[in-house]
Amino acid sequence: MMRLHKVYHRLTLLSLFPSSPPPPPLPLTSSPSLLTPVRTPGHLRTHRPKRFKSICTMTSRFPNLVPLNSIAAENVGGRSNDSVSSASTEDEEALAGKYQLPPPEIKNIVDAPPLPALSFSPQRDKILFLKRRSLPPLAELARPEEKLAGLRIDGNCNTKSRMSFYTGIGIHQLMPDGILGPEREIHGYPDGAKINFVTWSLDGRHLAFSIRFDEEDNSSSKLRVWVANVETGQARPLFQSPDVYLNAVFDNFVWVDNSTLLVCTIPSSRGDPPKKPSVPSGPKIQSNEQKNVVQVRTFQDLLKDEYDEDLFDYYATSQLVLASLDGTTKEIGNPAVYTSMDPSPDQKYLLVSSIHRPYSFTVPCGRFPKKVEVWTTDGKFVREVCDLPLAEDIPIAISSVRKGMRNINWRADKPSTLYWAETQDGGDAKVEVSPRDIIYTQPAEPLEGEQPEILHKLDLRYGGISWCDDSLALVYESWYKTRRTRTWVISPGSKDVSPRILFDRSSEDVYSDPGSPMLRRTPAGTYVIAKIKKENDEGTYILLNGSGATAEGNIPFLDLFDINTGSKERIWESDKEKYYETVVSLMSDYEEGHLLLDRLKLLTSKESKTENTQYSILKWPEKKVCQITNFPHPYPQLASLQKEMIKYKRNDGVQLTATLYLPPGYDLSKDGPLPCLVWSYPGEFKSKDAAGQVRGSPNEFAGIGPTSALLWLARRFAILSGPTIPIIGEGDKEANDRYVEQLVASAEAAVEEVIRRGVAHPNKIAVGGHSYGAFMTANLLAHAPHLFCCGIARSGAYNRTLTPFGFQNEDRTLWEATGTYVEMSPFMSANKIKKPILLIHGEEDNNSGTLTMQSDRFFNALKGHGALCRPAILPFESHGYAARESILHVLWETDRWLQKHCVPNSSDASAELDACKDEESKGVADSDKQAVVASGGGGPELADFEHEGFYSLPRSLL
């Protein structure tokens, strides 16, 4: 099954190909007049029951979302849509601790039904439309969940919590002329079922999927495996017994052959969950009496005691079962914590991975002891491949890895041959050694005494292999510190053919990216490099599919590449003027042997600034295009938005880019400057040239997610989306040692550009971001208060001393770079923040580093210095926000903040006009007036420019 995830919350094209290698708490407010330094007693923290699961794509028109006053119409912040309450009433409502609704123009976009996900059959003759619902209700997230070993588990379903789901499956025949036949619904399963893990059988004749239901007590049932006949659409349970349930904490099920599935099931002998002792057996003790050096980042949801260990075993332990479509079943192996099971391409063996004790209270389950074994497909043990010990001591330096065998997989081009990598530097990226990694291969059942064969040696860190056949494979290696990446050409079956470097480049240099090889699906369901044959040409050709980054934006391409000579021919390229097109997948790869260029068939996507993505079939030799989808615009009210990719320079000469969005119908000459929201996320680079390269396309569709800054186009804001904030550390220099300096310089350049263009009011520019973007926002308000009128910081980390063993891409410890940690922490500069800042955070944030405590402590620091600030802590939400109630409230909070601190009201305008008259009576210089008008002001807007210290801005902004 092929896989592709198309983002932008408008369409997800699934199953196309695998990834290419390389009671709620009351919100608090504080105003500058309330200077109340407070301590942070631990006992004041609110403790809640265990959290629950959320279904991330479920529609809810939940009944609990009601206006504060008892009127029939839906209100925004407790007000009717055509009335404006007094400021005091609004403040009372804001403090009431109730979920609020954003204005209709925002809410209606968020509540629009999502488009379906798509999945093509292995033979490319059928397509599934996997139907989805909108945002889930908060009740989905409020279901109990267990936080164990870095996972969050829905114990009732025995899955990872907060899974999205499909509501239905429709099948369309892809006709020879490229159009879709009528839809046939998969039927037979109960109404209201939630569908997950939809997979095709190897021959495309059957589908397997899981279903579950909502129970009367608002819990969700355990998962059962169902199968459906693709031709008839009839679905039925895979197991005849209704008491066989899927365990989907790790892996779930896989097709072994066309009629048999291997399923992770809940052991039938399992009883009730272990009960937590009312009295502990002793203190919680950890020891490092051996003086081991163990540095780990701030992992969350770790095991805490023996009870947690027992609970983890209870939920994660599976019994593997072979189940045939004819109803026969067979248990294989003993119950264990199986993390993956992969059939060999020839369907004779299984590669089975599991984890086992001793567990750790320091690291998540991915670093627990790991055993990898080879079994026959009927469950007979063949051999142990490895048994890796607990890996608590992986160094924090980026590019460090676990010791021993890793990335163990089947060769995609062989019946049953294993390959893996082994580090030669002890997994420590700071150790200099050559080679650094070695790749080995070995048959599933080696002969007695037969040792693994060395396939290739690497001086950088191994990054994967694209297999083709015995004459061709591509091996990838990279090194983060230098951003170097190399691609090797090897001949796996010919020891006398020396490996050679095909590409050697900087991963940051997107302009030199040659593209990735297109993969074809084999009859065994694996993916290998597609070899292309030209008529009357004996060359060895492959297809390189690239993003085509240029100084004018991405222009995707497809090159016919001679692997031996390096010559290439561009056989397809995206429209440069209006559209953004990409090659998604091969559609002629079901034929065995080389693919003929003249019979090539591809799936492509096409979009523009105002037209959402549609999919087409592109056929050679005439390159005929047949569109197969016709999805409606997901938010027609913004269909005519204006989008432009803009370029400008930082004061040190670094080229910067951003995407400027303007509301539908905006006219600079008539409308003048607008309030502006700048939304971004910093990035790290090793060179100024790479930092200045253009990424993305001006013709891409403006995808708007449920918490996107682009929603404020509907509120007549200008949006500066993704202005590049490069933090550059050239050579041996560390980027973060000049973080604040480069951050401020980048923001100044962006603000100067939107003011120069006249689209943004200089005193009405807000800044915001999520996660590391929230960290950026707080730092900008502390160190560049002249640029922004307010900030919105979501799910950020503000005190880097709470992440002492590295954060983001910083791999020095607090003790190695104390000054950098302190200077970068906006918490340490809380006394400098004078502009209003809105803090939003999920109460159950599970992201490393962004503990909810970060916002709690930052708010206390701000409040202690009289800053105008407001935290909104979202019950049950994690690092990203999922529930409809939460998301709509986030939008309400954000809109309220922007309307209050970024959009002038009538009284502000009057005050500004009076101020303007006063200035004129004092004889404001004509040159200054002209400078203001040149920036886009005119009429009453002129007063807006002069309000609140416009002339305190850098002269370059005038």
Q: Which residues are catalytic?
A: 771, 845, 879
- Spatial neighbors of 385 by CB under 8 A, at least 6 apart, are 351, 372, 373, 374, 405, 408, 418
Give the span between the Cα atoms of 418 and 408, in whole angstroms.
7
Question: Could you tell me the maximum CA-CA distance found in the chain, to the nearest angstrom?
Answer: 99
| H helical segments located in 116-189 | 138-141
Residues 915, 905: contact at Cβ < 8 Å?
A: no
Give the H or E element holding residue 219. none
Structure tokens at 425: 């530097």
Site of tokens 């700071």:
430
Give the type of residue at 18. Answer: P
Is the link from the previous residue into 114 a cis peptide, with omega within 30 of 0?
A: no
CB 165 within 8 A of CB 134: no
Cis peptide before 49 (omega within 30 of 0): no
Angle between helices 739-756 and 772-783 (to 10 degrees): 80
Pairing of strands 184-185, 194-200: unpaired
Terminal CA-to-CA distance of the chain, rounded, Å?
A: 57
Handedness of CA 718, 721, 723, 727 (dihedral sign): positive
In the block, residue with structure tokens 């186009």 = 713
> Which residues are paired to 226 by β-bridges?
209, 237
Answer yes or no: are the C-beta atoms of 820 and 852 closer than 8 Å.
no
Distance separating alpha carbons of residues 286 and 622, to the nearest angstrom: 69
Residue from 781, 864, 786 nearest 32 by CA: 864
CB 154 within 8 A of CB 164: no
Confirm if 503 and 460 have CB atoms less than 8 A apart.
no
Query: What is the Cα–Cα distance from 211 to 198, expressed in whole angstroms?
Result: 10
- Which residue's structure tokens are 């025995």? 158
Both tokens of 472, joined, read 């061709």
Amino acid sitting at position 42: G
Of the candidates 481, 950, 589, the one whose C-alpha atom is nearest the C-alpha of residue 760 is: 950
Contact 574, 559 (CB under 8 A): no
Name the nearest CA neighbour of 751 among 728, 714, 780, 712: 780
Q: What is the DSSP letter of 136?
A: P
DSSP state of 916: H
Residue-wise DSSP of 289-354: TT----------S---SHHHHHHHHHHH-EEEEEEETTS-EEEEEEEEEEEEEEE-TTSSEEEEEE
Sign of CA dihedral 359, 363, 369, 370: positive
Q: Is the dihedral of CA 180, 184, 186, 191 positive or negative?
A: positive
Helix (H, G, I), strand (E, B) or coil at 811: coil
Task: State the Cα–Cα distance between residues 699 and 550, nearest whole angstrom.
Answer: 13
Cα separation, 180 vs 173, in Å, equals 6
Q: Which residues pair with 185 in a beta bridge?
A: 170
Cα separation, 496 vs 538, whole angstroms: 22
Question: Exposed, middle or buried by CB within 10 Å (0-12, 13-18, 19+), for 153?
Answer: buried
